[in-house]
Amino acid sequence: MYFPHTRKRRLRQNQSIRNLSQEHRLSADDLIWPVFILDGFNRSEQVQSMPGVQRMSVDLLLDKLHKLVDKGLNAVALFPVVDKAFKSDDASEAWNPEGLVQKAVKTIKSEIPNLLVITDVALDPYTSHGQDGIINDQGQILNDVTIKALVMQAQSHADAGADMVAPSDMMDGRIGEIRAAFEQKKRHNVGILAYSAKYASVFYGPFRDAVGSAGNLGKSSKETYQMNPGNAREAIDEIQMDIDEGADMVMIKPGMPYLDIIKTAKDYFNVPICAYQVSGEYAMLQSAINNGFLDEKGAVMESLLCFKRAGCDAILTYYADRVIHWLDAS
């Protein structure tokens, strides 16, 4: 009879030894909570395709943020639900200093100064057609014209007090232009979290429902600027470009189906790597949970631990609020 000298099960036999030998962990420090904000006061709406996620006016959001920050939440990412009346072909509402996002940033930073506020830089909530850029008569997205608008949008977020801006538009060269504009205005400390490897993904469907851009976008796609899901090496070029242009942190998006890209990014680059567990991933998990097919806490915590194992430093997840409470209770 052959007895193995190495028994991997020795380090699995009880909780204490499993704790000692665990390589990766999830903590409240890793989380960024994406939230959908509404204009007005005391307003909250359920997002139909994301059961358990609400769009909220900023007063209601603040109540939640106070509690979450007490329990260790570091950062929030704001996504505005923009009224149809404010959408246009040139997206000019995007840099209105009194716009929904700009006002929300001011309020949150004045009430909870320690909470990092990250804003989305992209035109899709503000364009009448739902694309992330300015289009010409043929419907083509104009890269360099769009960048001028993105710079104004990013400046207005910085003016309002945003800690970091997160360009999610995937235009070529926008990180460099935004960085240059910030430096010129002496905004040396406003960071850029670049959505560098953002794929043209079906998993964004529920988000577009949540912010109300789905109807405007119709059947047109974002494939001329977001990445092809069949490509991996191209992500290295995208990330390299953004770092060279001044990105402080980079994002891979979606998350769970793209863990290979996260791993590659971690191996190649030294800046913090962030990933987004997007709306479709949330919808997938939550539908199974609500049907009783998956255990909620178990499934969510495992999915996020896997982001850490792949190499993530920070994770955007719609579960951040629940996870903070679970971690606090454990």
Query: Site map for ligand PBG, 77-116, x if CB under 6 A?
Result: ----------------------------------------
Q: Residue 210 CB, nearest distance to ligand PBG (Å)? A: 8
Query: Tokens for 196?
Result: 């560098």
Say if residues 196 and 264 touch (Cβ distance below 8 Å): no
Active-site residue, selected from the candidate residues 106, 198, 222, 308: 198
Active-site residue, selected from the candidate residues 253, 263, 266, 297: 253
Identify whether 253 is a catalytic site residue: yes
Say if residues 153 and 95 touch (Cβ distance below 8 Å): yes
Which of 36, 207, 269, 307 binds ligand PBG (CB under 6 A)? It is 207
Which of 57, 279, 303, 317 binds ligand PBG (CB under 6 A)? It is 279
Which of 95, 204, 225, 258 binds ligand PBG (CB under 6 A)? It is 204
Q: How far is CA 35 from CA 48, 56, 157, 316, in A?
A: 15, 8, 16, 10
Q: Residue 162 CB, nearest distance to ligand PBG (Å)? A: 15
Which of 106, 157, 174, 208 binds ligand PBG (CB under 6 A)? It is 208
Which of 30, 93, 132, 242 binds ligand PBG (CB under 6 A)? It is 132
Which of 74, 168, 196, 286 binds ligand PBG (CB under 6 A)? It is 168
- In order, the DSSP letters of 267-280 are HH--S-EEEEE-HH
Helix (H) or strand (E) holding 121: strand 116-121
321 touches ligand PBG by CB under 6 A: no
Helix (H) or strand (E) holding 249: strand 249-253
Complex with ligand PBG: residue 216 or 240, whichever CB lies closer: 216
Query: Tokens for 310?
Result: 């792949």
Q: Residue 243 CB, nearest distance to ligand PBG (Å)? A: 20
Identify whether 198 is a catalytic site residue: yes
Ligand-binding annotation for 238, yes or no, is: yes
What type of residue is 223?
A: E
Please choose, out of 105-113, 135-143, 148-156, 201-209, the segment that lies near ligand PBG by the rule CB under 6 A.
201-209
Residues serving a catalytic function are 198, 253
Annotated binding site for Mg(2+): 238
**Residues engaged in binding ligand PBG (CB under 6 A):** 120, 122, 124, 132, 168-169, 204, 207-208, 222, 278-279
